[in-house]
Structure 1
Amino acid sequence: NIRNLTERRKLGFFSCGTGNPIDDCWRCDPNWHKRRKRLAECGIGFGRNAVGGRDGRFYVVTDHTDDDPVNPKPGTLRHAVIQDRPLWIVFKRDMVIKLKQELIMNSFKTIDGRGANVHIANGGCITIQFVTNVIIHGLHIHDCKPTGNAMVRNSPSHFGWRTMADGDAISIFGSSHIWVDHNSLSNCADGLVDAVMGSTAITISNNHFTHHNEVMLLGHSDSYTRDKQMQVTIAYNHFGKGLIQRMPRCRHGYFHVVNNDYTHWEMYAIGGSANPTINSQGNRYAAPMNPFAKEVTKRVETAESKWKNWNWRSEGDLLVNGAYFTPSGAGASASYARASSLGAKSSSMVRAMTLNAGSLPCRRGRQC
């Protein structure tokens, strides 16, 4: 059983903790910088088997530029992420990286921003397309712009024409075993994290989302039925100031929304269409002051006669300031089993567990 597997790994190895099992697994170690790859053993949820670049060498990014997306210079982030071998990518110093085009990842990569203040901003952002085993940790990603109609390299042996990209912070397309952890994401042209086109085995954890309209889209379209296999865990995130909707907006698949702190939304928090299964456990939902936006949930452009059969449940959620969650479905246990990926903690612990959501100011030789 998935829950036992996850718990049996004794994630509380250094437990100095807040009860957040990912953080308690590595953050209490003052020598985290000498044991960076330990992070790959700390995953939870549907993306917990993402090893990223654990089995490869370290690659140190020394150059913030992105002058030529077809022939990237050694030392740049783009040169690192396109390589065919596993790599654990770290940064020599603080940097702001303005990408000319989207950053097209290759498989078995970790981008680890710990110990430096790294911003990917004001240009293209991260595309994870038709690959596996990617970990994105510790970045500030914001003000992403639409790019495209250009040649971009995606491996040492291949570059190709890219049509227009929407300007997502992180776009996951036809990919699996993906873990997005402890990033600060805001103010992009389209979504902050979008996962579409048959992507699955994804964990989105410990991120801080702010100042954005359509935060997270999971599922390509109502007609794209390959996304029926999608499984995504959304855990320990802080959905914060200036957010409007889609936290997430789901289609078709199985979504475990667990122990997140929702302090701001303007329209709704969790939406969906095309019969997704949504398992909401141990979250804190604080409704906005607007008396017409108190509902956590939204069924998008669907008649009640249809959505009343969708499996959406709220268990142990803390509903604050008049927030209410509209459940549906007969509660088919098999359906919720496929939308369960770890044990939820009490919603009373959510604030402590999400207090350090977003990119962490880690310094070598100290607990992070």
Structure 2
Amino acid sequence: MGLELPYGSVDFSLRGLAGQAEGFGRLAVGGQNGDVYSVTTLADDGPGSLRYGCRKKEALWIVFQVSGTIELRSYLSVSSYTTIDGRGQKIKLTGKGLRLKECEHVIICNLLIEGGVGDDADAIQIKPNSKHIWIDRCSLSDFCDGLIDVSRQSTDITISRCRFANHNKTILIGADPSHVEDRCIRVTIHHCFFDGTRQRHPRVRFGKVHLYNNYTRNWAIYAVCASVDSQIYSDCNIYEAGHKKIAFKYYKEKAGDKEEECSGGIRSQGDLFVGETEAGLEGGGGDSCVFDPREYYNKWTVVAPPSDDLKHYLQHCTGFQNIPLPSI
């Protein structure tokens, strides 16, 4: 297609993912320096299970020797320096989701996470104080609360090549206007496909968020929302509205350390608004206060112009992929 795409070399070796994320999560190494742990059972717990591996405190690269559904009866807590690598099998997590709590250097790759149970069920919950996280090529849908929540001073996170569908509250970054410490949050979301999810692609409080080369279509409320003191840099994305035409929304809230309500800022750079889609940039905090990603991370980040080729790629090559597990 003549389209320059990221991560062309990460599948040549098992640990080729380590340290290769673009954006704020670029330092995530996962279990690069640990042993390989093989999941041999679809049971929720016990030797050979995914939970058993995630519980270990030493660095670990987790792979799967089985395919199928793992029904999680409670949140699955992931330890630091862990890679959950779903390449080579088809693993679906359901029931409860993953919890990244006070951990660092976690990579989650090539999983299906769908069918949440319980009012508070998030597919992936990142809080508190977690950092250096990379979520790549996952399909997420149909949970009770959020698909990905980032809050309580968790930062330096990349979400890439993921597919989001059949859901309402998709990605929340910053959970409450009283959490003023969340001004440290930094998240990159790129090459993702938001397919008819209703809202929060993402919704942001306080954090700095770089969105690039994503395709968001047929939302029901808005595509992207900037709330209290957030800074969103929307860079060469494709926005294609359905019934609701406006892509960007601003919600005012009062930060815990301020007297007046305020929203956030959105800078739209090179975005493509398809058909009758309206940007909706008026009425917010403007773009003068929005950060420049180039001041935060290095030059090899690939940002392509929005195009039909990019749209085709994002429709067909995001989320879970039927790819082999690379050799060690």
The TM-score, its normalising length taken from structure 1, stands at 0.80
1:197-216 to structure 2, matched below 5 A, reads 197-216=152-171
Consecutive unaligned residues in structure 2, runs of 5 or more? 255-259
- Deviation at 1:104? 0.7
2:323 is equivalent to residue 362 of structure 1: yes
Q: Does the alignment pair 1:132 with 2:104?
A: yes
> CA 1:359–1:339 in structure 2 vs 1: closer, same or farther (change >3 Å)?
farther
Deviation at 1:334, TM superposition (A): 7.1
What aligned pairs does 1:86-101 form with structure 2 within 5 A after superposition?
86-101=59-74
Question: Matched residue of 2:121: which SS?
Answer: coil
Query: Take 1:338 and 1:226, find their aligned partners in 2: how far apart are those partners?
Result: 23
SS of residue in 2 equivalent to 1:216? strand
Aligned to 1:167: 121
Q: What secondary structure sits across from 2:168 in the alignment?
A: strand
8 Å CA contact retained: 1:256, 1:339? no
Q: In structure 1, what is the equivalent of residue 227 of structure 2?
A: 273
Indicate conservation of the 8 Å contact 2:3/2:304, yes or no. no
Contact 2:232 2:290 in 1 (8 A): no
Are residues 57 and 107 of structure 1, via their aligned partners in 2, closer, same or farther at CA, if it must alter by over 3 Å?
A: same
Q: Match for residue 42 of structure 2?
A: 64
Code of the aligned partner of 2:292: Y
Counterpart code for 2:225: G
**Cα pair distance change 1:78/1:208, threshold 3 Å:** same
Query: Where do 1:43-192 residues align within 5 Å?
Result: 43-66=21-44, 72-121=45-94, 123-146=95-118, 166-174=120-128, 175-192=130-147
Provide the C-alpha distance between the structure 1 equivalents of 2:290 and 2:251, rounded to a whole number of angstroms: 24
User: 1:40 and 1:365, CA in 2 relative to 1: closer, same or farther beyond 3 A?
Assistant: closer
- More helix per residue: 1 or 2? 1
Of the three residues 25, 33, 43, the one matched with 2:9 is: 25
d(CA) in 1 for partners of 2:295 and 2:51?
Answer: 35
Measured against aligned partners, the alpha-carbon deviations of 1:91-148 in whole angstroms (never above 9, x if no partner) come to 0021210011110111000000001010001x111000011011010000001122xx
| 1:288-327 matched pairs, under 5 angstroms | 288=242, 290=243, 293-301=244-252, 310-327=264-281
For residues 83 and 318 of structure 1, the distance between their equivalents in structure 2, rounded to whole angstroms, comes to 45
Q: Does 2:295 align with 1:336?
A: no
Q: Is the 8 A contact 1:48 1:203 kept in 2?
A: yes
CA 1:188–1:330 in 2, change beyond 3 Å: closer, same or farther? closer
Determine which of 207, 210, 232 is the counterpart of 2:187.
Answer: 232
CA deviation digits over 1:235-272, x for unaligned, max 9? 0000013x111110000010001100112211111013
Q: How big is each residue's C-alpha offset from its partner over 1:3-22, in whole Å with a ceiling of 9 and x where there is no partner?
A: xxxxxxxxxxxxx9842212
CA distance in 2, matches of 1:73, 1:344: 43
8 Å Cα contact 2:228/2:261 also seen in 1: no
SS at structure 1 position matched to 2:198 = strand
Q: State the Cα distance separating 1:302 from its structure 2 match.
A: 5.3
CA distance in 2 between partners of 1:196 and 1:276 (Å): 13
Question: 1:162-208, CA deviations, whole angstroms, 9 ceiling, x for partnerless residues?
Answer: xxx81000000021001010000000010000001001000011000
2:270 and 2:296 mapped to 1: Cα distance?
14
3-state SS, counterpart of residue 350 of structure 1: helix
Overall identity of the aligned pairs, in %: 34
8 Å Cα contact 1:64-1:95 kept in structure 2: yes
- 2:310 corresponds in structure 1 to 350
Unaligned runs of at least 5 residues, structure 1:
1-15, 67-71, 147-164
Q: Is the 8 A contact 1:25 1:42 kept in 2?
A: no
Other-structure match for 2:257:
none
SS class of match (1:78): helix
For 2:280, the aligned partner's letter is T
User: CA contact under 8 A between 1:197 and 1:226: conserved in structure 2?
Assistant: yes
Structure 2 counterpart of 1:130, which letter? E
Residues 277 and 336 in structure 1, CA contact (< 8 A), matched pair in contact too: no
Alignment partners' CA distance in 2, 1:281 and 1:94: 37
